[in-house]
Chains A and B, each alone.
Chain A
Amino acid sequence: MTTHDDVAYRVRERVLDMGATPNGAHIGGSLSCADILTVLYRDVLRVRPEQPEWPDRDRFVLSKGHASAALYAVLAEFGFLPEEELATYGAYGSRLAGHPLRRLPGVEFPTGSLGHGLSLAAGAALAARRTGGRARAFALLGDGELQEGSVWEAAMFAGHQGLANLVAIVDRNGLQITGSTEECVGLEPLADRWRSFGWSVIQVDGHDPEALREHLTALPAERGRPTVLLARTVKGKGVPMFEDKKKSHSVQLTRRLHKRALFGLRKVTV
């Protein structure tokens, strides 16, 4: 049986491959959420790759749309996309854009402009509640993204409505383009902030699949409240030359750097 580590390794490897294409990729934030995405698709989301529009499916929104490379790798890994399509990333006529397009199976909403995903997921959760459907809604947000005011409009709304079928996961890698989130516009005390908006808050190691699985398969964390996982992660996780480096945000890997990055990934994993 394929283990989490096998899948997450391949996802990271493919992220690096996409980073080596002419347009490059948002490598750092893709690697930081690779474990979260793998756990979601492997153990949590009720979705059917062979029937992507199945009405009762869980809705997943990649609110941090720039991590598209990780999403594409995961969608290919779980049968939403043909494996070989990944090679078209960023190329003329491809469905694999720098930020996810709606036309891609498994993508509920196109994202890329930050601060949209939580409202969309809240609406999807409310629709399921209204129609009596089993669908749950999951939104994966970047931590820098939380500087967008619209995130807090949605958080306030979801908390007030008690949307227990809504889950937010924050990829708390601590870095945004210009550096540390705390030096840019600080987010702490982040758990207190979410709690004060009416959410059930879980702090978790975003690279510990067991811990992620444990929390994400016991939802909602509290009755009548939306749940947020503040997932502590490392930007560029798994590739030493990128780990915790702001320069990993958006990179176009030369052939030499691609090789070095893959070598680093292999070494860390072994």
Chain B
Amino acid sequence: MTNGGDGVLTAPSRVDDPVDADWVERYSVPSREVYRRTLTELAEADPRVFCLDTDMGGLEDGFAERLPDQYVNVGIAEMNLMGVSAGLAAGGLLPYANTLSGFAATRACEALKVDIAGNDLPVRVVVTHGGASSGHYGPTHHALDDIAIVRTMPNMTVVVPCDAAETERAVRATAGLEGPLFLRLGRGATPVIGDASAEFTLGRARLLREGGDVTIVATGPHPVHMAVEAARALAERGVSARVLDMHTVKPLDRSALVDAARETAGIVTVEDHLVVGGLGAAVCEAVSAEHPCPVRRVGVPDAYLDFVADERDLLVHAGVSPERIEREALEVARL
């Protein structure tokens, strides 16, 4: 089992693979739990770290009790969350502003744009319930347009980890970021991908599987997991698919994409997001200028998911599945 990146062959693990079972268990939890644990460590090491909550449930990390001077609960008020965070950052602190993705990207969009991105302030907006991860909570809680919205904001870095382990790496790797960050997490536990030796480089795609026929570029927990599943199925059919975990949606790893466009028949993008404006769109923007190639976008079509299902079933229903990825990849490989 080796770490992806720089052409090193990678065979990603599944939860059931016999690799470092303790490590897998440690990260078989919701990403947000690992994030909060990591944040507490960062805050203990750096007094500038400041945690802002918005009356969120499901948090029993004890941050407020352990570090009361580095904590405030602003209540159910996301506009104010963004403004106060901007004010704190301008005053020399490193605020971690926590809310749900839909509330950050849409309800508080203007404050995020004007006060945080507009001032290039080091506010870390860390959101949960990204994509369809709020499942049965319904469309008010789904965030299928968040990436499209926040990636239009100049200065903003947008990171979508694929699992709890990558979340921890991402939180550490962005701790010193000078500008604003939008870190998009899900809600429940998702499969662990890769192993303990994986590294995280901001702005560089993580190579999960080498391949020469077609490239699958995915972002987000289920999409990356489905991409790996599809690549395995493709291998059985004799098609070699490269898999890139595009954890940093902005700034996008253009060179990895141009390499994919040059070296393989084309690209299939996978995201738990509308096909409009998200990763697929960003990939099209990147390759169209430098090395146009066929790009198939697997994502949620132009629709709200107004029925009840869990996260994965919602995505499958919307057309985001390993089978769909496999089909699109086969077609691209045969073009």
Please tell me if the beta carbons of A127 and B83 are within 8 angstroms of each other in the complex.
Answer: no
Please tell me if the beta carbons of A110 and B118 are within 8 angstroms of each other in the complex.
Answer: yes
Specify which chain A residues have a CB less than 8 angstroms from the CB of B86 in the assembled complex. Answer: 109, 119-120, 123
Please tell me if the beta carbons of A157 and B87 are within 8 angstroms of each other in the complex.
Answer: no
Specify which chain B residues have a CB less than 8 angstroms from the CB of A153 in the assembled complex. Answer: 77, 79-80
Please tell me if the beta carbons of A119 and B111 are within 8 angstroms of each other in the complex.
Answer: yes
B82 contacts the other chain (CB 8 A): yes
Known interface pairs A113-B110, A130-B69, A157-B84. Does A119 touch B79 (Cβ–Cβ under 8 Å)? yes
Specify which chain A residues have a CB less than 8 angstroms from the CB of B77 in the assembled complex. Answer: 153, 156-157
Size of the chain A interface, CB-CB below 8 angstroms = 33
Known interface pairs A102-B119, A119-B79. Does A109 touch B84 (Cβ–Cβ under 8 Å)? no
B206 smallest CB distance to A (angstroms): 35
Known interface pairs A110-B114, A113-B110, A116-B114. Does A137 touch B87 (Cβ–Cβ under 8 Å)? yes
Binding site of A, secondary structure by majority: helix, strand, loop or mixed?
helix
Contact with A113, one of B84, B88, B114 (Cβ below 8 angstroms): B114
Complex: chain B residue closest to A117, CB-CB: B83
Complex: chain A residue closest to B80, CB-CB: A153
Known interface pairs A150-B79, A156-B77, A157-B80. Does A109 touch B90 (Cβ–Cβ under 8 Å)? yes
Interface string of B12-50 (1 = CB under 8 A from A): 000000000000000000000000000000000000001
**Interface hits, B103-129 → A, CB 8 Å:** 110-111, 114-115, 118-119
Please tell me if the beta carbons of A127 and B80 are within 8 angstroms of each other in the complex.
Answer: no
Interface string of A55-89 (1 = CB under 8 A from B): 10001000000000000000000000000000000
Please tell me if the beta carbons of A109 and B119 are within 8 angstroms of each other in the complex.
Answer: yes
Please tell me if the beta carbons of A127 and B93 are within 8 angstroms of each other in the complex.
Answer: yes
Complex: chain A residue closest to B108, CB-CB: A150
Known interface pairs A113-B110, A161-B72. Does A126 touch B83 (Cβ–Cβ under 8 Å)? no
Taken together as a complex, chains A and B put the C-alpha atoms of A169 and B320 apart, in Å, by: 53
A61 smallest CB distance to B (angstroms): 9
Please tell me if the beta carbons of A126 and B115 are within 8 angstroms of each other in the complex.
Answer: no
From B70, B87, B89, B93, residue with most partner A Cβ within 10 Å: B87
Interface size class, chain B: 20 to 34
A122 contacts the other chain (CB 8 A): yes
**Interface hits, B84-100 → A, CB 8 Å:** 84-93, 95
Contact with A124, one of B70, B90, B114 (Cβ below 8 angstroms): B90
B282 smallest CB distance to A (angstroms): 27
Specify which chain A residues have a CB less than 8 angstroms from the CB of B50 in the assembled complex. Answer: 130
A108 contacts the other chain (CB 8 A): yes
Please tell me if the beta carbons of B90 and A108 are within 8 angstroms of each other in the complex.
Answer: yes
A2 smallest CB distance to B (angstroms): 31
Specify which chain A residues have a CB less than 8 angstroms from the CB of B114 in the assembled complex. Answer: 110, 113, 116
Please tell me if the beta carbons of B92 and A116 are within 8 angstroms of each other in the complex.
Answer: no
Specify which chain A residues have a CB less than 8 angstroms from the CB of B212 in the assembled complex. Answer: none
Taken together as a complex, chains A and B put the C-alpha atoms of A102 and B120 apart, in Å, by: 11
Taken together as a complex, chains A and B put the C-alpha atoms of A9 and B70 apart, in Å, by: 46
Complex: chain A residue closest to B123, CB-CB: A123
A146 smallest CB distance to B (angstroms): 14
Please tell me if the beta carbons of B93 and A154 are within 8 angstroms of each other in the complex.
Answer: no
Contact with A123, one of B69, B84, B110, B118 (Cβ below 8 angstroms): B84
21 intermolecular pairs with C-beta atoms under 8 Å apart: A59-B91, A109-B86, A109-B90, A110-B119, A116-B110, A116-B114, A118-B83, A120-B87, A122-B83, A123-B83, A123-B95, A124-B87, A124-B88, A124-B90, A124-B91, A126-B87, A128-B91, A131-B92, A133-B91, A150-B79, A156-B77
* A-B interface, 5 closest residue pairs, ranked by CB to CB distance from nearest: A123-B87, A119-B83, A127-B91, A153-B80, A123-B84
Residues of A within 8 A of B (CB): 55, 59, 102, 108-110, 113, 115-116, 118-128, 130-131, 133, 135, 137, 149-150, 153-154, 156-157, 160-161
Residues of B within 8 A of A (CB): 50, 69-70, 72, 74-75, 77, 79-80, 82-93, 95, 110-111, 114-115, 118-119
